[in-house]
Each structure stands twice: as structure tokens, then as C-alpha cells.
């Protein structure tokens, strides 16, 4: 019998003493030459991800696979995803960063592909199409869907901050997520970027117990410590992609990723 998602998350944070999520965004242009010189780009991406996983798995709560980079591999992209997932120890959370969002029947097939067939623990989804595009991702008690609320990219301000009857759109999505979560018993998370601490604090106020997947610390936004201060009263997964996986472009990329993970873990220790 699988643990409910919230229990698995808590358990993994305790085992790893970590809230660090490593984002696997294998941009072919940044894969170390040591790997791309001797094999196809597909093999190089697979090898790169597997070495990063081996070097960092014990230090992280989760790995997040950005499916854009795997789709761009072409017809074998899906099997690279499968191979990479096999390298991740079972108690580490796996997140498909897919940002899917489609009507009911299509959403069910995306959920099947990502949560059942590939057995990801969680998926990121877009809320624009509303409840019937979200609910099919919430049918598995041991899985979760992280719904985009406040994103850390510059364009995130375009619509998410629009006032809707007195509160910004991203807060409306958080409020809706509470209803969806109540109906699905704890399978909802939110994506809440570190670029806007005020929004992050508001979201934690609205959703005190919801797991937050938080990208954008460091270069793009607030420090990891500030993020923990504002959102750490509830469950968090603090994502870092490029800062960890591309910490070195040399042969020592995996060791460098491990060191960068250690630094981040010490900044945002799980308490």
C-alpha cells in the first residue's frame, strides 16, 4: 500500500534532511563536452541526468524533470524519461514538470501517461481551463498535482497579478485549490516562485498546509533563507535547476552538482 503524497513528502524530507528539489533541465547546449563528444545527444542527456542523480539523490527531497527538454530529443525522448526515472531511488519524489492543462478527457490521458504509466509522484499543471482540467490529476491519493499559481518568470506578472473582485488572480487560484484539495484529500500543491516574496507570503497565508514547489531562488529572486522564512511553516520543495546541474561544465560536473546541492541544503535545512 502506497503512502499518501503528504506522508511520502514528509518522510523523504526527514530522511534526506533536505527540501532541495533538483530540476533536470538538460539543455543540450550546456551538457558537458566530455559527454557530448563521445556519444549521441540522446545518450549524452541520459548519461548526464543519471550521473547527476547518482551524485545528488541522497541530498534531495525530489527530482523534477522538465519535459520540454525530453520532448525536444524527439521520438526517443519518452524512453530517455523512462531510463532516467529508473535511476531515481524509490523514496525520492519525482515530479513531471509538464504544465499540462486540457479538458477532462484529455486531462485524464495526460494523468494516465505521467502518473500511472511513467509513475511520476507528481506533475505540474496549468489552471487556466478550470476545475475539470485539474481534477483528473487528483484521483490518486499517493500522487500530487502542483498547480501554477504565481510563477517566477517576468511574464508571470501579465495576468497573475490582475485584480479580480479585489484580489489578484493567483490568489483566486489558491482559493480554488483549497476546494479541489478538500475534495481530493491532500493531493494538491502549488507552484509559487521565489521572485515575489509578497505573493509567496500571501499564498502561505491562504494555504497554510499546502506543499509549495518553489522555483526561482537565487539569480531570479529571493534567497533560499528568505523563502524559508516566508513559506517554511508549511511543506516546501525548493527547486534549483541550472545552478546545480550546470555548476561545472567540466568532467567534474556531477561532483560540482553534489557540492552545489550541499550548499543549498545547508541554506534551507529541513527542520
Does position 173 interact with a second copy (CB under 8 A)? The reply is: yes
Point out the catalytic residue in the list 99, 112, 165, 243: 99
Does position 110 interact with a second copy (CB under 8 A)? The reply is: yes
Shortest Å distance, C-beta 159 to a second copy: 6
Shortest Å distance, C-beta 148 to a second copy: 6
Angle formed at CA 141 by CA 136 and CA 144, multiple of 5 degrees? 65
Which of 19, 24, 101, 227 binds a second copy (CB under 8 A)? It is 101
Does position 218 interact with a second copy (CB under 8 A)? The reply is: no
Cβ neighbors of 242 (< 8 A, separation 6 or more) are 23, 25, 30
Does position 79 interact with a second copy (CB under 8 A)? The reply is: yes
Percentage helix, strand, coil for the chain under 3-state DSSP, each rounded to 5: 50, 15, 35
Rounded to an integer, what distance in angstroms lies between the CA atom of residue 96 and that of residue 114?
7
Does position 199 interact with a second copy (CB under 8 A)? The reply is: no
| 85 contacts 118 by C-beta, under 8 angstroms | yes
Tell me which stretch binds a second copy (CB under 8 A): 41-49, 111-119, 199-207, 263-271: 111-119
Does position 169 interact with a second copy (CB under 8 A)? The reply is: yes
C-alpha dist (Å) from residue 234 to 9, 69, 255: 12, 31, 31
Task: Check residue 130 and give left, alpha or beta (phi > 0: left; psi -120 to 50: alpha).
Answer: left
Within residues 126-155, the interface with a second copy by CB under 8 A covers 126-134, 148, 151-155
Does position 99 interact with a second copy (CB under 8 A)? The reply is: yes
Cβ neighbors of 85 (< 8 A, separation 6 or more) are 65, 94, 118, 119, 120
Residues found near a second copy in the complex (CB under 8 A): 25, 27, 66, 68-69, 71-72, 74-79, 82, 97, 99-107, 109-110, 112-114, 117, 126-134, 148, 151-160, 162-165, 169, 172-173, 176
List residues with catalytic annotation: 99
Amino acid at each position: 500500500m502506497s503512502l499518501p503524497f503528504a506522508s511520502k513528502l514528509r518522510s523523504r524530507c526527514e530522511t534526506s534532511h533536505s527540501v532541495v528539489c533538483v530540476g533536470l533541465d538538460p539543455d543540450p547546449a550546456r551538457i558537458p563536452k566530455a559527454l557530448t563528444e563521445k556519444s549521441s545527444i540522446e545518450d549524452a542527456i541520459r548519461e548526464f541526468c543519471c550521473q547527476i542523480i547518482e551524485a545528488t539523490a541522497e541530498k534531495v527531497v525530489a527530482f523534477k524533470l522538465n519535459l520540454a527538454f525530453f520532448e525536444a530529443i524527439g521520438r526517443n525522448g519518452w524512453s530517455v524519461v523512462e531510463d532516467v526515472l529508473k535511476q531515481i531511488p524509490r523514496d525520492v519524489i519525482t515530479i513531471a514538470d509538464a504544465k499540462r492543462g486540457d479538458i477532462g478527457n484529455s486531462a485524464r490521458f495526460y494523468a494516465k501517461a505521467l502518473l500511472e504509466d511513467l509513475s511520476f509522484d507528481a506533475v505540474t499543471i496549468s489552471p487556466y481551463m478550470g476545475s475539470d482540467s485539474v481534477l483528473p490529476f487528483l484521483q490518486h491519493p499517493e500522487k500530487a498535482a502542483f498547480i501554477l499559481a504565481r510563477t517566477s518568470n517576468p511574464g508571470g506578472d501579465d495576468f497573475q497579478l490582475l485584480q479580480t473582485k479585489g484580489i489578484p488572480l493567483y490568489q483566486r487560484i489558491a482559493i480554488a485549490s483549497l476546494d479541489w484539495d478538500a475534495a481530493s484529500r491532500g493531493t494538491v500543491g502549488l507552484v509559487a516562485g521565489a521572485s515575489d516574496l509578497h505573493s509567496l507570503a500571501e499564498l502561505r497565508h491562504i494555504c497554510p498546509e499546502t506543499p509549495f514547489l518553489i522555483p526561482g531562488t537565487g539569480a531570479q529572486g529571493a534567497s533560499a533563507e528568505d523563502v524559508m522564512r516566508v513559506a517554511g511553516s508549511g511543506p516546501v520543495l525548493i527547486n534549483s535547476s541550472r545552478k546545480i546541474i550546470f555548476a561545472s561544465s567540466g568532467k567534474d560536473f556531477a561532483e560540482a552538482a553534489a557540492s552545489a546541492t550541499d550548499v543549498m541544503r545547508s541554506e534551507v535545512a529541513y527542520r
